[in-house]
């Protein structure tokens, strides 16, 4: 595939690029082709080109919630870098390529509240919308007014209801051929100093749990709704482990001895059973082995399946 000639300053095409540098795990083999652009029209044209060539492609954001195969990706990795953030009254519109932290900081500096609890969650705005990122009882879905995206044929917009948000889910997860370009968030006036203090408080907590230098993708498994658990299991869960109707996966992982488990260069922390990290020499295959072992233990001990938050890219 040849790079069309134009003036897009962010357009970049590279071959055989190792993907570890694009993931929080710092793991991943090479992609046949990596193409980046901040131009929505160019991005749409690239998708069409991939389809015309019958080339496999994957849209990658900041790689905060993905595990890339040691073998890399036999196809085209596309990255949309459009990152403009602008205010319109009580609303803020952000490009999908902007970091979520940049959106949080922008809204706080503008004296607009509603996103401060998302402070220090790694990843892009597009990825946060895609997976309905959230923390401390709130999610990005609460503030999303509309999302602009490319469905493979044309650019469309969906309002909040059309995005079908639920816990760590959205309609975009079920349509992996759709690409988010931007989103608009409806916020509320607030005191910038107070909003910043709340964000700083959350940042401190998150940095203690997930140190910025730690090579990890955050929590690996989704939490579970108490009402969805087998009755016998639900009856076994102590009230102290239930928050807002959900039970942390870490509770069940602790019961099966997850803490400090290790496979090669991949380890689970001693203080949080749902936090898998790369000690520096880890491989994607080792992460997958550890995940599969944990799922097996949960299934055998409790009789249900835990579901990963992370996305797998490439061949496993």
Enumerate the active-site residues: 168, 219, 309
Cα separation, 105 vs 87, whole angstroms: 13
Beta bridge partners of 139: 134
DSSP string, 98-118: SBHHHHHHHHHHTTEESSGGG
Q: Indicate the burial class of 164 (C-beta count within 10 angstroms; 0-12, 13-18, 19 or more).
A: middle
- 313 CB neighbour count, 10 Å cutoff: 23
Question: Left, alpha or beta for 54 (phi > 0: left; psi -120 to 50: alpha)?
Answer: left
CA angle in degrees (0–180, nearest 5) for 245-251-253: 135
Which H/E stretch holds residue 32? strand 30-37
H or E element at residue 132? none
Nearest to 132 by CA among 114, 112, 118: 118
H/E element holding 43? helix 40-52
**Which residue from 306, 309, 310, 202 is spatially nearest to 254, judged by alpha carbons?**
306
How far from 54 is each of 77, 172, 312, CA to CA, in Å? Answer: 14, 22, 21
List, in sequence order, every residue forming a beta bridge with 157; answer none if it has no partner. 148
Give 243's DSSP letter: E
């Amino acid at each position: 595939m040849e790079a069309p000639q134009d003036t897009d300053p962010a357009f970049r095409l590279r071959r055989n690029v190792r993907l570890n540098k694009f993931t929080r795990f710092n793991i991943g083999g090479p992609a046949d082709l990596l193409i980046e652009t901040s131009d929505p029209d160019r991005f749409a044209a690239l998708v069409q080109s991939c389809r015309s060539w019958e080339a496999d492609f994957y849209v990658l954001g900041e790689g905060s919630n993905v595990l890339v195969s040691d073998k890399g990706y036999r196809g085209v990795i596309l990255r949309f870098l459009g990152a403009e953030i602008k205010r319109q009254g009580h609303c803020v519109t952000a490009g999908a390529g902007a970091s979520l932290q940049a959106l949080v900081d922008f809204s706080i500096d503008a004296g607009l509240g509603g996103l401060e609890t998302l402070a220090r969650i790694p990843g892009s705005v597009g990825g946060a919308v895609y997976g309905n990122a959230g923390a401390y009882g709130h999610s990005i879905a609460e503030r999303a007014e509309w999302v602009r995206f490319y469905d493979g044929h044309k650019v469309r917009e969906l309002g909040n209801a059309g995005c079908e948000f639920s816990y760590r889910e959205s309609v975009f997860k079920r349509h992996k051929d759709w690409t988010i370009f931007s989103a608009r968030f409806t916020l509320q006036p607030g005191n910038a100093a107070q909003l910043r203090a709340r964000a700083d408080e959350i940042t401190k907590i998150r940095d203690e749990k997930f140190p910025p230098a730690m090579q990890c993708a955050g929590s690996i498994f989704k939490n579970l709704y108490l009402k969805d658990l087998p009755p016998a299991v639900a009856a076994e869960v102590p009230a102290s482990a239930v928050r807002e109707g959900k039970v942390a996966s870490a509770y069940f992982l602790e019961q099966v001895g997850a803490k400090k488990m290790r496979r090669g260069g991949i380890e689970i922390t001693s203080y949080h059973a749902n936090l898998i990290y790369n000690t520096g020499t880890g491989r994607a295959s080792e992460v997958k082995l550890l995940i599969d072992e944990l799922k097996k233990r949960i299934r055998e001990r409790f009789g249900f399946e835990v579901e990963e938050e992370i996305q797998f890219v490439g061949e496993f």
